[in-house]
Amino acid sequence: MTIASSDPETAALDEVQYATNEGPCIKAALTGRAAEVVDTRAETKWPRFIAAMTASHMRSVLAVRIPLQTSDGDTAQLPDRRCHQCRPQAR
């Protein structure tokens, strides 16, 4: 469930991940490690999520797990319309 979103487009991408059980937020939540898509046009993981991302004109995303004291944690998804790789210190 998405608690907050920066815009409807990003919320819709979250819904695709929940419906398909694939995508960077799902991976970050399950593994506790950051998951990144540098360029949707070259990504081969998570085909249904990538198709939705490409249709939304988003080109890259970084998902990170946020540990919380009251639960197992949550994830943050940071999509961008530009292609880029996050520097290691940003992960």
For 67-79, the pLDDT digits (tens) are 766 655 556 665 6
The residue among 34, 36, 89, 38 whose CA lies nearest residue 66 is 34
pLDDT of res. 91: 45
pLDDT of res. 68: 67
Q: Are 43 and 50 in contact (CB under 8 A)?
A: yes
pLDDT of res. 58: 83
Distance of CA 22 to the CA centre of its chain: 10
Q: Low-confidence residues of the chain, pLDDT below 50?
A: 89-91
